Amino acid sequence: MSDSYDAVFVGAGHNTLAAALHLSVRGWRVGLFEQASVAGGAVKTGDYTLPGFRHDWAAMNLSLFAGSTFFETHGPELIQHGLEFVPVSNSFATVFPDHTWCGVSTDLAATTARITTHSAADAATWNRLMADFPTEAPHLFGLLDSPMKMRALASRTIKLLRAKGLGGTLDMGQFLLQSPRQWLTQTFESPHVQAMLGAWGLHLDFAPDIAGGAIFPYFHAMASQASGMVLGKGGTDTIIRAMVATIETHGGTVETDAAVTRILHANGKAYGIELADGRTITATRAVIAGVAPRALPLLTGTSSAFDAKMTAYTHAPGTMMIHLALRDLPDWNAGHELQSFAYIHIASSLDQMARTYQQAVAGLLPDEPMVVVGQPTTVDPTRAPSGQHAIWLQVRMAPGTITGDAGGEITSTDWAQAGEPFASRVLDIFESHAPGTRAKILGQRIVTPLELERDNPNLIGGDQGCGSHHMSQNFLFRPARGHADGSTPIKNLHLTGAAVWPGAGLGAGSGFLLARSLVGK
């Protein structure tokens, strides 16, 4: 049995869905085939603790999606198919062991006042950065939205030179090369302010001393101050359900429980896929694989210099997720106001984050991991029964393969046995900042890095970003030099997803850039 489409997709993550949607709106007949029981990849929502408590499996923040060129192009139709956002004015905060905190809201006066309690000089610096942000943002957003091709980069550089001059252009280049610690310590004097902003680096794998990571604390801080944050009403999967419905409206197919076992090609040209159930699906124009790079040679059965680069592609340390159903919000030591924030980072210092990262890279369970506490029900009560709350804990970092325990307490190197005691360590950290939280737990679900990978093979070792974003594997080199546009040596075969420029996050960038290149607009 064989079906035929203009384009067939391996996987139905948000990037493949974005590409398929754009192609289908432009008249292509598309078919997506996903091995999981639901579309979305790591972007999914479910009752993972108790019925009625809607937890985002991994990704939660939809700010990049809401601000993307993809949403600007297709937003009205997605909204018609049920997409709903929830705006967040109190975006993120960090709590410290001395029971103080600092956080960013869309109210500039409130943010400034919080920073002033740590450093008046830093508050003045913050206001200066915010005043400059409208001028700087178009250059940064423009870079992230540009194809990684020499012609596009040359055009972008010329625009930057005209706007900022040679000195300003070189300054921006230097900033893009800086580590988070370099930029933060040169810019702010308070260790607490530095830690509050530096925590955003570990949402990828930019520990404080990794070159090229300064942009992430800057970008998230300034954007949260300027525009706040965006969550999905009822769950992050609102974008997935809306994209699937839009694709189907335009005649496309999204099939789940449909594992792809082989990409079909002959004479250097891809022409379809083979499914685990034996079906052959043909493609007249493109085969698009939303897979981790090392999976591509397994699907094509080829062995080339390109395939060797895909196999050698580097993944970041993993993540543990802990989902909690609570009868009430946490009572934060640092203050009741923290209950209104979507994200709370428990990250005491840049040094602690650097130590955590190095421990995880070495395969050790960190003695004091950074904990990201998501409180979506503080702005979206539809995610839990009345008066109760669905809390989302993201533990950064955690090794995919355990070699030991930096805390000297956990003896097992198997996640099946180490998961619960490591989660208990995390909950101890949480409890130290929000006493009584354990007594509020109605249900919990621990998701280890290996369970994340079993659920979604793209998250190798629990790496939610599908690959390190260090300089040697970013920009022109994501996933490999000459292939940042998703191209492969096999004609009509393309790679997309977080492993392709512009990388991780929910901006649908790689999928949309690929689709636009295929249709010429």
Say which CATH class 2-44+237-313+465-519 falls into: alpha beta
Instruction: Dump pLDDT digits (tens) for 391-426.
Output: 999 999 999 999 999 999 999 999 999 999 999 999
Measure the CA–CA gap between 439 and 184, rounded to whole angstroms.
38
Assign 171 a pLDDT band (cuts: 50, 70, 90): confident
| DSSP structure class, residue 43 | -
Whole-number Cα distances in Å, 206 to 200, 314, 316, 396, 402: 8, 14, 10, 11, 21
Percent over 90 (pLDDT), the chain: 92
Instruction: Dump pLDDT digits (tens) for 474-520.
Output: 999 999 999 999 999 999 999 999 999 999 999 999 999 999 999 98
Query: Taking residues 264-284, what's their average pLDDT?
Result: 98
Decide: 281 and 287 in contact? Cβ < 8 Å.
no
Assign 2 a pLDDT band (cuts: 50, 70, 90): low
Decide: 399 and 453 in contact? Cβ < 8 Å.
no
Backbone angles phi, psi at 270, to 5 degrees: -80, 140
Measure the CA–CA gap between 465 and 481, rounded to whole angstroms.
19
Measure the CA–CA gap between 180 and 202, rounded to whole angstroms.
10
In the CATH hierarchy, which fold is given to the domain comprising 317-455?
Polyamine Oxidase; Chain A, domain 2 (3.90.660)
Query: Taking residues 222-243, what's their average pLDDT?
Result: 97
Query: Which tokens sit at 159?
Result: 């625009």
Instruction: Dump pLDDT digits (tens) for 190-207.
Output: 999 999 999 999 999 999
Q: Give residue 153's region: left, alpha or beta (phi > 0; psi -120 to 50).
A: alpha
Instruction: Dump pLDDT digits (tens) for 69-82.
Output: 999 999 999 999 99
Assign 1 a pLDDT band (cuts: 50, 70, 90): very low
Measure the CA–CA gap between 257 and 240, rounded to whole angstroms.
16
Query: Which tokens sit at 226?
Result: 């300027």
The mean-pLDDT minimum among 24-38, 59-73, 127-141, 217-231 falls in: 127-141
Contacts of 405 (CB under 8 A, 6+ apart): 364, 365, 367, 411, 418
pTM: 0.96
Is the model's pLDDT at 152 over the cut of 80?
A: no
Domain ranges of the chain: 2-44+237-313+465-519, 89-228, 317-455
The strand pair at 364-365 and 280-289 is best described as: unpaired
